[in-house]
Amino acid sequence: MVEVRRTFHQELDQIKADIVRLAAMVTECIPRGTDVLLANDLQGAQQLIEADDELDSLSLEIEERCYQVLALQQPVAIDLRSLVTAIRLTSEIERSGDLMVNVAKGARRIYGVQFDPRLRGLIERMSEEATRLFRLCIDAYVEGNASLAAALEDMDDGLDLLHKDYIQAIFESHHAGIIDLQAAVQLALIGRYYERIGDHAVNIGARVEYMVTGWLPEHTGKARLNARHERAEAELQTEMESLSADPPPADDSGG
């Protein structure tokens, strides 16, 4: 039995190591995709798009290993939460990689567009912030740090503000005739991809909190719903008791 558990935890450690490797690959894609975009690098864009196949392959391997361990080991408590978290993290990480593929495809659609200094600077800052958030969420996972995981939602506000400024800069650049409408639309989509990477980092943080504490943000909503139902039932019960306690109306029909 001890040997079985040792093998089980070795499997968990390998899954964790592969998730970190997958996350490292995606983290590297963020500044790489930004460089491709700002440099009008068609060859680099194609290489980034093709590299996504490796991310997809590794993410599938991780998920399949997780399901195999779930089926064969039937883990409970924190081990079960670790596996469920691994499955969810793999999906969040892989989708973040897809977003950088979208940036590369967007770069091809607006090939030749020249960015004014403000737009260029905001893209670089969004890229840096998305990279930072992604690294921090994986640090939280590796360290089992629920406090860091919980802080990611507040940290993401910085990227949201940059995204808001970026959209305003697109409008101004288009109004000034620097970029045409098609380029403006594509740039707006590209900004959304960076912002979504921040959202995935926050989601990863929430899953790390679940892994460590057993609590999910959805539990708060469920608790509120249950409380509303309980209040409604109590009010109904009070009303029914009040009705049953009232005396019957007097008979005014005469005799």
DSSP-assigned letters across all residues of 107-156: HHHTTTPPPPHHHHHHHHHHHHHHHHHHHHHHHHHHHT-HHHHHHHHHHH
Mean pLDDT on 49-71: 95
Query: CATH number, domain at 201?
Result: 1.20.58.220
Mean pLDDT score of the chain: 89
User: What's the average model confidence in pLDDT over 167-193?
Assistant: 95
Task: State yes or no: pLDDT of 251 exceeds 90.
Answer: no
Q: Residue 192 belongs to what domain range?
A: 2-227
Q: What is the pTM of this model?
A: 0.83
Distance CA 156, CA 213 (A): 22
For the chain, the domain total comes to: 1
For residue 157, is it within any domain?
yes
pLDDT of residue 184: 95
In this structure, is residue 11 part of a structural domain? yes
Model confidence at 249: pLDDT above 90: no
Query: What CA dihedral angle connects 144, 147, 153 and 156, to 10 degrees?
Result: -80
Does residue 247 fall inside a structural domain? no
Question: Band of the pLDDT at 252, cuts 50, 70, 90?
Answer: low
Query: Taking a C-beta distance cutoff of 8 angstroms, is the pair 188, 170 a contact?
Result: yes
Which has more pLDDT, 50 or 250?
50
Q: Is residue 82 part of a domain?
A: yes
pLDDT tens, 229-243? Answer: 667 676 667 666 676
- 214 has a pLDDT exceeding 60: yes
Label residue 255 by pLDDT band (50, 70, 90): very low
233 in any annotated domain:
no
Say how many Å lie between the first and final Cα of the chain, rounded: 87
Higher confidence at residue 80 or residue 230?
80
Nearest by Cα to 99 from 172, 183, 189: 189
Give yes or no for residue 105 having a pLDDT over 50: yes
Question: Mapping DSSP to helix (H, G, I), strand (E, B) and coil, where does residue 74 land?
Answer: coil
Confidence (pLDDT) at 8? 82
User: Which has the minimum average pLDDT: 36-40, 75-79, 96-100, 170-174?
Assistant: 75-79
In the numeric block, the tokens 């970029």 are attached to: 179
Residue 251 lies in a domain: no
Give helix 181-213 / helix 146-175 axis angle, nearest 10°: 170
- Residue scoring higher pLDDT (76 or 212): 212
Residue 30 covered by a domain: yes
Categorize the per-residue pLDDT at 77 as very low, low, confident or very high, splitting at 50, 70 and 90. confident
- Find out whether 26 and 97 touch, Cβ atoms under 8 Å: yes
Average the pLDDT over 167-184 and give the result: 94
Residue 28 domain-assigned (yes or no) = yes
- Confidence label for 55 from pLDDT (cuts 50, 70 and 90): very high
pLDDT score of 37 more than 70: yes
Residue 32, pLDDT > 50, answer yes
